[in-house]
Amino acid sequence: MNVIVVANYDEMSERAAAFVAAEIGHRPDLRIGLPTGNTPSGMYERLVGMHRRGEVDFSQISTFNLDEYWGIEFAHPAAFARYIGDRFLAHVNVPEEQAHWPDGIGQAEQNAAAYEVLLSKGGPLGLLILGIGVNGHIGFNEPGTNFASRTGLVPLAERTRQDAFHPRSGFDSAEDVPTHGITMGIGTMMESRRILLLASGQSKAQAIKKALAGSVTEDVPASVLQRHPDVTVIVDEAAAALLDAD
């Protein structure tokens, strides 16, 4: 694992955007897995800026959102598909047909199977970008998820549901946060050629420590990344604070 510790959130966002742009520079038709959450929003903002300045061309890439709340329509203010649309896709030149997400409405098994087909059709993702939950989850794969899991419907941990509700979340109340999500599986994610993990802030320090330096266990989904041959972690000092401490 290549762990890059930076000063703060802005620097993490800057480095992440530069990393993604460089990957696209090497491979213009890159297939990229995209996360949501507060962590990557600064990265998206910078990628949009780079695009406006003509520094990066997204016309050949394909995007695949990591996950979605179950039971939430695209138009819902909390929908992850809408997050990626509003913060990134609406401002860059990814052709519509090259942007993909798991549907949060309909038949879960069918949606998941259809997404797996889309994901595997063009070969493994060239780059998967991940955030991390305070309990070590990746995508919506909560502690206890089998490392071999494929895309599917999963229950959300109570902590994840609590963290999902805040004034700008798009949910009216904590009870409105769905109890389930549809997410790329851990086995699915691990097939990606390269993985970029981002984390910022003190609340992620414990999860980062367990994921990077703890034992590889299904109790900490992100610890599976220790088994991947090509992972870069960009983490700020607050999130890296416990890395060298025993």
- What positions carry a catalytic annotation? 67, 135, 137, 142
Of the candidate residues 133, 136, 185, 221, the single one contacting ligand GLP (CB under 6 A): 133
The least distance separating ligand GLP from the CB of residue 160, rounded to whole angstroms, comes to 5
Q: 100 by DSSP, 3-state: which? A: strand
Q: Compose the 35-64 pattern: x for residues touching ligand GLP by CB under 6 A, - for all others.
A: xxxxx-------------------------
- Counting residues that bind ligand GLP (by CB under 6 A) gives 13
DSSP state of 156: P
**By CB under 6 A, residue 151 contacts ligand GLP:** no
**By CB under 6 A, residue 132 contacts ligand GLP:** yes
Specify the DSSP element, H or E, that contains 181: strand 180-183
Stretch that binds ligand GLP, among 15-23, 33-41, 219-227, 237-245 (CB under 6 A): 33-41
**By CB under 6 A, residue 102 contacts ligand GLP:** no
The secondary structure of 43-68, three-state, reads HHHHHHHHHHCCCCCCCCCEEEECEE
Closest CA to 13 of 163, 133, 131: 131
The type of residue at 169 is: S
The CA distance from 206 to 204, in Å, is: 6
- Judged by the rule CB under 6 A, the positions of this chain that interact with ligand GLP are 35-39, 66-67, 131-133, 139-140, 160
